[in-house]
């Protein structure tokens, strides 16, 4: 990968405070030959940098040095691996054993996820999300009045947690859409278990099948930054919302502080790593499944656009949104709330915080 490609994926490596140790780390990772072992080693380096960032953020001091140290240590770790001649270790018996154990891990991982989803307590899953949504609406004074008369579209609902939360909050009718069959089918299973009435259906959010002016509330939480056409996705949200309706759009932020810089850096080294190998590599380390999802989420997705507030407002207004307003408060663990509460070094850590916008038309 050329320097220009690296800088395009991770502008923070060009001249940001993390570039001095971040760029050698990335270059060392890119030197590794393409192999399953390299994929595993890069995933482990990703894991250790991710937890070093979290450890640095927990302290009330400037996190820069701790992050730089982690980048340097992991560069050294990758260099040591690159210089290791595995031929010396790999007798054919050992190779057979390691192949068998990878298969076992794969089977175990499959069972683990299956069981995890089945065991997931639907009531708790929906209750927690309901509390998050309620707090975010109340703390910003934007809880819609007459919710019991309103229809809601949850565009890109995933496992359906926010659609159910709107219904629990009192909305008249809720439709959750996603193009993931796994997402929609697990959402359907869960609402049955929790006895909540939501209509879930398969849809592409950048090309919705609904008529203009269909819903009182359109809600899209963490979806359009992963789509191939964010502009069209925003157009669709505004199009299907009724005049004077209530729109909610959450997109990831730029600037995003070290929080997103680290993710950008790790996206460069993980770009060619196999998803299944990465998950297994973290399982072997004993990382719990929910942490694996959280860590790999933005790092392994192919599209992860980050926009400035002005860019989001411009696109929303271009498509007919009015009274666009950024939410300044959030739930306790939201980055925007930590900025609002003036946590030390919050802007360095989190940039401007989550971009949650509400609007009408
Ligand atoms: C990070 S998840 C967010 C899920 C949900 N909104 C939540 O907050 O729990 C992103 C979701 O967007 C969905 N998605 C991405 N592109 C989509 C598209 N073009 N049409 C429909 N869904 C899409 C994915 O399938 C995934 O479920």
Q: Which has more confidence, 62 or 122?
A: 62
Lowest mean pLDDT among 58-72, 112-126, 223-237: 112-126
Q: Whose Cα sits closest to atom 10 in ligand 1?
A: 223
Q: Is 248 in the pocket of ligand 1 (CB under 6 A)?
A: no
State the Cα–Cα distance between residues 209 and 61, nearest whole angstrom.
50
pLDDT at 53 over 90: yes
Would you say 126 and 196 are in contact if contact means Cβ atoms under 8 Å apart? yes
Residue 233 CA, closest ligand 1 atom number:
19
And the tokens for 187? 């959402």
Tell me what pLDDT residue 279 has: 82
Q: Whose Cα sits closest to atom 16 in ligand 1?
A: 227
- The string of DSSP codes covering 330-354 is --TTSHHHHHHTT-TTHHHHHTT--
pLDDT at 109 over 50: no
**From ligand 1's centre to the CA of 347, what distance in Å?**
28
Would you say 275 and 300 are in contact if contact means Cβ atoms under 8 Å apart? yes
pLDDT at 151 over 90: yes
Q: State how far the alpha carbon of 191 is from the alpha carbons of 86, 117, 182, 188, in Å.
A: 50, 13, 14, 5
Question: What's the start-to-end Cα distance of the chain, in Å?
Answer: 44
Lowest mean pLDDT among 35-44, 110-119, 282-291, 336-345: 110-119
DSSP H or E stretch at residue 240: helix 230-240
Edge-to-edge order in the sheet of strand 151-155: 199-202, 173-178, 151-155, 215-221, 241-251, 355-360, 322-326
Tell me what pLDDT residue 86 has: 54
Residue 180 CA, closest ligand 1 atom number:
25
Helix (H, G, I), strand (E, B) or coil at 357: strand
Average pLDDT over residues 291-302: 82
**DSSP 8-state secondary structure symbol assigned to residue 255:** S
pLDDT digits (tens, 9 = 90+) for 5-21: 999 999 999 999 999 99
Q: Is 361 in the pocket of ligand 1 (CB under 6 A)?
A: no
Average pLDDT over residues 217-240: 95
Q: Whose Cα sits closest to atom 14 in ligand 1?
A: 156
Average pLDDT over residues 261-277: 90
**Domain map (residue ranges) of the chain:** 3-119+258-300, 122-255+306-360
Tell me what pLDDT residue 91 has: 46
pLDDT at 114 over 80: no
Residue 159 CB contacts under 8 Å (≥ 6 apart), including other chains: 125, 183, 186, 187, 190
pLDDT digits (tens, 9 = 90+) for 321-338: 999 999 999 999 999 999
Pocket test for ligand 1, best of 152, 158, 201, 219 (most atoms within 8 A of CB): 158
Q: Is 223 in the pocket of ligand 1 (CB under 6 A)?
A: yes
Pocket test for ligand 1, best of 223, 301, 356 (most atoms within 8 A of CB): 223
Would you say 336 and 327 are in contact if contact means Cβ atoms under 8 Å apart? yes
DSSP H or E stretch at residue 216: strand 215-221
Helix (H, G, I), strand (E, B) or coil at 106: helix
Pocket test for ligand 1, best of 126, 130, 178, 249 (most atoms within 8 A of CB): 178
Tell me what pLDDT residue 107 has: 39
Tell me what pLDDT residue 275 has: 80
Q: Which has more confidence, 159 or 235?
A: 235
Q: Is the pTM of this model over 0.95?
A: no
Tell me what pLDDT residue 110 has: 38
pLDDT at 98 over 50: no
Assign 274 a pLDDT band (cuts: 50, 70, 90). confident
pLDDT at 144 over 50: yes
Tell me what pLDDT residue 85 has: 58
User: What CATH architecture is 122-255+306-360?
Assistant: 3-Layer(aba) Sandwich (3.40)
pLDDT digits (tens, 9 = 90+) for 169-187: 999 999 999 988 888 888 8
Give φ, ψ of 244 to 5 degrees.
65, 15
Q: Is 19 in the pocket of ligand 1 (CB under 6 A)?
A: no
Q: Is 227 in the pocket of ligand 1 (CB under 6 A)?
A: yes
Identify the top-confidence range among 40-44, 93-97, 231-235, 273-277.
231-235
State the Cα–Cα distance between residues 253 and 270, nearest whole angstrom.
21
Tell me what pLDDT residue 1 has: 86
**From ligand 1's centre to the CA of 158, what distance in Å?**
5
Pocket test for ligand 1, best of 179, 209, 295 (most atoms within 8 A of CB): 179
Q: Which has more confidence, 315 or 276?
A: 315
**From ligand 1's centre to the CA of 321, what distance in Å?**
22
**From ligand 1's centre to the CA of 87, what distance in Å?**
44
**From ligand 1's centre to the CA of 223, what distance in Å?**
5
Tell me what pLDDT residue 265 has: 94
Tell me what pLDDT residue 117 has: 40
Tell me what pLDDT residue 308 has: 97
Residue 220 CA, closest ligand 1 atom number:
6
Helix (H, G, I), strand (E, B) or coil at 167: helix
Q: Is 176 in the pocket of ligand 1 (CB under 6 A)?
A: no
DSSP H or E stretch at residue 315: helix 309-318
pLDDT digits (tens, 9 = 90+) for 184-209: 888 898 888 888 999 999 999 999 99
The overall average pLDDT reported for the chain is 88
Q: Is 63 in the pocket of ligand 1 (CB under 6 A)?
A: no
Q: Is 29 in the pocket of ligand 1 (CB under 6 A)?
A: no
State the Cα–Cα distance between residues 339 and 257, nearest whole angstrom.
12
């Amino acid at each position: 990968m050329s320097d220009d490609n690296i800088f395009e994926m991770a502008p923070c490596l060009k001249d940001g405070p993390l570039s001095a140790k971040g760029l050698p780390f990335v270059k060392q990772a890119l030197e590794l030959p393409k192999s399953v072992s390299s994929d595993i080693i890069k995933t482990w380096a990703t894991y250790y940098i991710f937890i070093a960032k979290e450890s640095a953020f927990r302290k009330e001091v400037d996190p820069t040095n701790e992050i730089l140290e982690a980048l340097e240590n992991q560069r050294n770790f990758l260099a040591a691996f690159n210089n290791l001649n595995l031929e010396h270790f790999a007798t054919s018996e050992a190779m057979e054993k390691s192949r068998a154990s990878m298969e076992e891990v794969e089977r175990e991982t499959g069972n683990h996820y299956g069981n995890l989803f089945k065991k997931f307590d639907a009531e708790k899953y929906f209750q927690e999300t309901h509390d998050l949504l309620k707090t975010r609406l109340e703390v910003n004074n934007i809880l819609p009045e007459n919710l019991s008369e309103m229809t809601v579209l949850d565009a890109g609902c995933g496992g359906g947690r926010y659609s159910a939360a709107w219904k629990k909050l009192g909305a008249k009718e809720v439709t959750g859409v996603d193009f993931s069959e796994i997402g929609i089918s697990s959402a359907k299973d869960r609402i049955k278990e929790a006895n909540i009435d939501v209509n879930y259906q398969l849809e592409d959010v950048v090309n919705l099948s609904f008529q203009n002016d269909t819903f009182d509330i359109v809600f899209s939480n963490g979806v359009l930054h992963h789509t191939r056409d964010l502009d069209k996705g925003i157009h669709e949200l505004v199009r299907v919302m009724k005049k004077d309706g209530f729109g909610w759009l959450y997109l990831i932020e730029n600037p995003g502080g070290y929080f997103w810089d680290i993710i950008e850096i790790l996206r460069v080294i993980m770009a060619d790593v196999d998803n299944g190998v990465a998950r297994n590599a973290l399982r072997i380390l004993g990382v719990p499944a929910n942490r694996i999802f959280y860590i790999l989420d933005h790092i392994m997705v192919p599209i992860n656009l980050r926009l400035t507030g002005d860019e989001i407002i411009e696109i929303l207004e271009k498509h007919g949104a009015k009274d666009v307003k950024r939410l300044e408060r959030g739930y306790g663990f939201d980055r925007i709330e930590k900025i609002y509460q003036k946590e030390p070094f919050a802007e360095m850590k989190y940039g401007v915080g989550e971009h949650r916008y509400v609007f009408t038309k």
